[in-house]
Amino acid sequence: MFRYILPIVLILFAGCSTKKANIDYDPSFNMATLSTFAVLYNDTDNQSALNDERIAEAITHEMQTKGYISVPEHEADFQITFHSLIREDVPSNVGVGLGLGTFSSGLGLSLGTARGFSSDEGTLLINMVDPATQKIFWYTKLTKKIESFKTPQERAKYFNETVTAMLKEFPVK
């Protein structure tokens, strides 16, 4: 019976694994010539302007860590745009089951349950744009459950970690 427990535990932990960012890029675009960037975002008509500011700061910090220089929009080799989406009450697929039985004695026991948990889910999209053509040459997207935060510092740390994970594969200068 114990030989069945390990696979079940592994399956449960696999379901709780961290999501990876979805990344796509134009292989014909020469990113080796890029050295300066500007982060563009609309900070006037958004209910989450503080979050947008945190995201812009996290992107700027991560790009500077990679060796790129932040400059005004009209001087940038490339522009970085981002968009955040929030879906409320996203249902989860949580279910728990337990079974016990034998072949010879006819004993059986079964227990199953499914709960309709729901949570808010956030999606962050980051685009690298060629200002000359206005075409996207690199893109990343990450969707995950929105956590609750007790302090603004926790929220800023969360966005820093999320953006770092999303830009992990963007080339270092």
Q: Where are the domains of the chain?
A: 19-166
Give the pLDDT confidence score for residue 51 in this predicted structure: 86
**pLDDT, tens digit (0-9, with 9 covering 90-100), for 12-53:** 444 444 568 899 999 999 999 999 999 998 765 555 788 889
CB burial of residue 96 (10 Å; 0-12, 13-18, 19+): exposed
Q: How far is CA 37 from CA 45, 76, 100, 111, 129, in A?
A: 24, 5, 61, 57, 10
Residue 121 Cα to chain centre, angstroms: 10
**pLDDT, tens digit (0-9, with 9 covering 90-100), for 134-155:** 999 999 999 988 778 889 999 8
pLDDT classification of 114: cutoffs 50, 70, 90: low
CATH class of 19-166: alpha beta
User: How many other C-beta atoms are found inside a 10 Å radius of the C-beta of residue 62?
Assistant: 20
Give the pLDDT confidence score for residue 9 in this predicted structure: 39
Least confident of 62-66, 78-82, 112-116: 112-116
Give the pLDDT confidence score for residue 149 in this predicted structure: 82
How many Å is the Cα radius of gyration of the chain?
A: 22
Whole-structure pTM value:
0.72
pLDDT classification of 112: cutoffs 50, 70, 90: low
Residue 39 CA to residue 61 CA, distance in Å, equals: 11
DSSP state of 173: -
Give the pLDDT confidence score for residue 153 in this predicted structure: 93
